[in-house]
Amino acid sequence: MNYKRKFPSTRLRRLRSSAFIRDIVRENILTGDDLIQPIFIKEGLSGTEPIDQMPGIFRFGLDSIEKEIEELLKLGIKSVALFPVIDPDKKDAEGSESINQNNLICNAIKKIKSTSSDLIVISDVALDPYTTHGHDGILVNNYVDNDKTLDQLVNQSLALANSGADIIAPSDMMDGRIKLIREALEKNDFKNTILLSYAAKYNSKFYGPFRSAVGSSSNLGKASKAQYQMDVANSDEALNEVALDINEGADIVMVKPGMPYLDIISKVKETFNVPTFAYQVSGEYSMLKAAIQEEWLESEAITESLMCFKRAGADAVLTYAAKEIIKELNK
């Protein structure tokens, strides 16, 4: 940075004097390639149903997912992240349905891939949508047992890879899971299956609408995930988590949530210089949409928020607003 620049020989406003000049000197650009659309798929549902806590977002039945995928592809969205809303009767203490190769998400992946092999499908790996207690792992004496959970996560990952998932995304925050999943993928000839690690996932209060959307909030109740998700006060810990996951075989790392953690995104990108994604989580999305609906914010605030992710160093953003924003970008 040249701190010797002085007024009036330097007038920084010159580069803001017209829209054309502002465009050609812009440091970051937001395109459809930067946007990943999360999709909720509900077992037994025909058509779609709105999610009350997330304006404009729906749960999809298997019979309606192809139409949504076709629309996203036409708009220019190239990647989706899938999240299941399973039949409550299929939930148990160990999340056994997660490893069923014909479960809801595995069938959805097969259906989507038969529609378009070009779309990148990201599949979440965690047990919370499948457990009766709503935790991401197996409970032993009211404690999430790290090592007992690992085998289940590995088998879940293999089921997803076998169904055609392009990217496996462990979001559970168990220690050592990236190493074991990578080894299992290599051993089973899924050498090109990408591992996207939710490496820096915080124990945030911004997840509420998501938990309601997948039906895990009632199972979790007032229990906390502080045993395994990161303390919101910590940043050095995030770098240790990312370093461990990269060393164990992660191809891409994720920071979650997004906007309140732009400092973490920036540190991760600057420190490791690996592909870094961010998740604009349900609470962030719903907060912005509520303010826009009340006309406290302009609708462009969402686009601004996504540009902030890019400026901080994110290579792509999971955002519920992806479909909405790409329509604006296409105008």
Contact at 8 Å (CB) between 195 and 168? yes
User: pTM of whole model > 0.85?
Assistant: yes
Flag whether 86 is in a domain. yes
238 touches 264 (CB < 8 A): yes
- Residue 174 belongs to domain spanning: 27-329
Tell me which amino acid residue 122 is: I
Query: Which residue, among 241, 213, 234, has the nearest Cα to 49 in the 3D structure?
Result: 213
CA 107/CA 134 separation, integer angstroms:
23
pLDDT at 217: 64
256 counts as catalytic: yes
91, 201, 225, 269: the active-site residue: 201
Predicted confidence at residue 74, as pLDDT, reads 94
Q: Confirm whether 4 is a catalytic residue.
A: no
Beta strand extents in the chain (DSSP E only): 35-42, 48-50, 58-60, 79-85, 120-125, 138-140, 143-145, 167-170, 194-201, 252-256, 276-280, 316-319
Distance CA 36, CA 119 (A): 11
With respect to residue 16, please indicate whether it lies within any of the assigned structural domains.
Answer: no
Specify the pLDDT at position 2: 61
Amino acid at 175: D
The β-bridge partners of 145 are: 138
Which phi and psi (to 5°) does residue 296 adopt? -85, -25
Q: Is residue 13 part of a domain?
A: no
Q: Which of 42, 91, 225, 256 is catalytic?
A: 256
In a domain, 64, yes or no: yes
3-state secondary structure of 320: coil
Q: How far apart are the first and last CA of the chain?
A: 36
Mean pLDDT in each 10-residue stretch from start to end of the chain (331 residues)? Answer: 82 94 94 96 96 95 95 95 95 95 97 89 95 92 94 98 97 96 98 97 93 77 88 98 98 97 98 98 97 96 97 98 96 85
pLDDT at 328: 93
Q: In angstroms, what CA-CA distances link 205 with 7, 33, 147, 210, 226?
A: 46, 29, 26, 11, 11
2 within some domain: no
Say if 47 falls within a structural domain: yes
CA–CA distance, 265 with 272 (Å, rounded to integer): 11
Residue 95 lies in a domain: yes
Query: Please, are residues 287 and 319 in contact by the beta-carbon 8 Å criterion?
Result: no
Distance CA 96, CA 9 (A): 69
Cα(94)–Cα(82) distance, integer angstroms: 21
Question: What is the model's pLDDT at position 1?
Answer: 64
Number of domains in the chain: 1
The count of C-alpha atoms lying within 13 angstroms of the C-alpha of 304, restricted to the half-sphere facing its C-beta, is: 6
Confidence at residue 215, expressed as pLDDT on a 0 to 100 scale: 74
> Is-contact 50 57, C-beta < 8 A?
yes
Q: Is residue 38 part of a domain?
A: yes
Quote the pLDDT of residue 310: 97
Q: What is the CATH number of the domain that holds 178?
A: 3.20.20.70
